[in-house]
Amino acid sequence: MTDTESGLPPAIEQLWGLREPARRGGPKPALSLPRIVAAAIELADAGGLAALSMSRLAEKLGFTTMPVYRYVASKDDLLVLCLDEAIGAAPALDGPWRAQLEAWSGALRIRYQQHAWMLDVPISGLPAGPNQLVWFERGLRALAPTTLEPAERASTVLLLSTYVRGQVQMVADLMRAAAPASGPPVDWASVVRRVAHPDRFPEVAKLVAGGVFDAEGFPDDEFEFGLRRVLDGVETLDRSRA
């Protein structure tokens, strides 16, 4: 381990290609970081974050547990690498800024849905991987033609990514709660109906009575609604400067 003394977490240094292996002897490595990360993502995709243990990962790779630690400082480190890999490359965008941000958000949403375990990874640092930084850069670029100040553009992109992440997480939780892995599906509408007495919860009760919770096409409409609110807010700010 050539310590680059950059003060960065080791995983981040690896992501940016700093920290060269510096092989001076010894057998050829039979494993490689990309293979490890790919296998880890496969495991998590298939069985959720809980299915990703170091022993299972090693087994999938055809090795015993410990060699993995020759390539990765810790499981947390590995997760950081997996996150940046799974978020993938940000799409190229074009057109008016609002359409760009819509596309940006939709693409990000899809990535989260493809790798739902990302939402369960305990975040313990800045999103500083190259892919994540590209996402950030693309978001900023979309806002370049607006009247927003630089700091406001940064805040806006942060706001959007927060929104997308939170939204996907909430929907995923709702779906999991409605159709649990074990046991029969739960009819939440009836549960809330039993528990939300109209005296204490008049508004909620009205909502339930109106059948709002059994709406069609729920996840997508919900996502669109929130996204439109946020972008309307950004547009309001933009226009107030023009």
Partner DNA sequence: CCGAGTCCGTGTATGTCGTACACAGGTTAG
Partner DNA sequence: CTAACCTGTGTACGACATACACGGACTCGG
Instruction: Give the footprint of its own copies on this chain (CB under 8 A).
Output: 6-8, 16, 120, 122-126, 128, 133-134, 136-137, 140-141, 144, 150-156, 158-159, 162-163, 165-167, 169-170, 173-174, 176-177, 183-184, 186-188, 191-192, 194-196, 200-204, 206-207, 210, 212, 215, 222, 225-226, 228-234, 236-237
What is the DSSP code (8-state) at residue 198?
Answer: T
Residues 104 and 160: beta-carbon distance below 8 Å? yes
Enclosing H/E stretch for 232: helix 218-241
Q: Minimum distance between the CB of residue 236 and DNA, rounded to whole angstroms?
A: 46
Residues 27 and 8: beta-carbon distance below 8 Å? no
Q: Minimum distance between the CB of residue 204 and its own copies, rounded to whole angstroms?
A: 5
Scanning 21-29, 95-103, 119-127, 184-192 for contacts with DNA by CB under 7 A, the matching segment is 21-29
**Closest Cα partner for 108 from 173, 158, 39, 37?**
158
Query: Residue 155, Cα to own-chain centre: how many angstroms?
Result: 18
Taking CB under 7 A as the rule, does residue 121 contact DNA? no
Binds 26: which of DNA, its own copies, none (CB < 5-8 Å by kind): DNA
Query: Which of 63, 136, 188, 201 is in the footprint of DNA by CB under 7 A?
Result: 63
**CA dist., res. 14 & res. 80, Å (int):** 10
Query: Which of 8, 67, 113, 174 is in the footprint of DNA by CB under 7 A?
Result: 67
**CA dist., res. 237 & res. 151, Å (int):** 13
